[in-house]
Amino acid sequence: FDGHEMARLTGTFDHTLQEARNNGDDARDQSLVEQVETTPGLCWLLEDGRILDGVEELAGADFIWGGSECNITAHGSHPWHADRFGSSETEFTRVKVMIYLDETRADHGCLRVLPGSHRDPYHTTLEPLLAQDEGVAERTLGVSGEDVPSVFVEAAPGDVLFFNQTLWHGVFNSFPGRRFVALKFAERPSSSVHIRSLDKYSAGVVFRPHVALVEHSDPRLRGMVAGLVDLAPAR
């Protein structure tokens, strides 16, 4: 995105999150969901062909919506993890689109990824790391989490990152006030395994899409939530 677009995005993001915390102290983690769908200064992200075309290339033309997050992090690290873990998850494409509002570098809170870890058998061999306790990386891989060989995905404001949610990733040497928007998508489910996965991780969003998308004027946005209510598992 260009400077004008980022100024618009950042201004709305900051105002929205500050308002949500009643103008209080911002030196803490904060996460809001369903803001992109409902906030005029943010919803343009979902209408932008640069994002939707990229998602379509990765998840197919009939992709579905998986929800949004607006986040501020205060912690110094987010140890190695996969957003969606398991052999069955590696067969179901889930795409996360990340837009950082602050510059991140190798020594300053950038995303780190383990290439190929979104596929088995590599993916499931890393299961012990899910414990995320101190020393688990050294016990499992022989080095500290920070020293695990990985790819540093440095980003400047305006960069848009796409990655598979089964990919193992982490953040180290982070900084207070690290801001980012996350947009989540998936291929349209075609099996009961896919439905169970969506029910486990995203039921409150996927099977109950916000009216702002259900009634959106853009057929592409309506299409990514069409029929999802009917797929919800019986309770």
Domain borders along the chain are: 3-227
Smallest Cα–Cα separation from 177: which of 27, 6, 18? 27
pLDDT tens for each residue of 110-140 = 999 999 999 999 999 999 999 988 899 999 9
pLDDT of 24: 65
Overall average pLDDT of the 65-80 stretch: 95
DSSP 109: B
Confidence grade of residue 28 (pLDDT, cut at 50, 70, 90):
confident
Residues in the chain: 235
Question: How far is the C-alpha of 87 from the C-alpha of 85, rounded, in Å?
Answer: 7
Q: Are 53 and 18 in contact (CB under 8 A)?
A: no
3-227 is classed CATH 2.60.120.620? yes
CA distance 93 to 176: 32
Q: How far apart are CA 130 and CA 206, in angstroms?
A: 25
Residue 185: both structure tokens together: 């998508």
Do residues 189 and 88 lie in contact, with contact meaning Cβ atoms separated by under 8 Å? no
What is the reported pLDDT for 156?
98
Handedness of CA 208, 225, 92, 34 (dihedral sign): negative
Q: Which residues contact 3 (CB under 8 A, 6 or more apart)?
A: 158
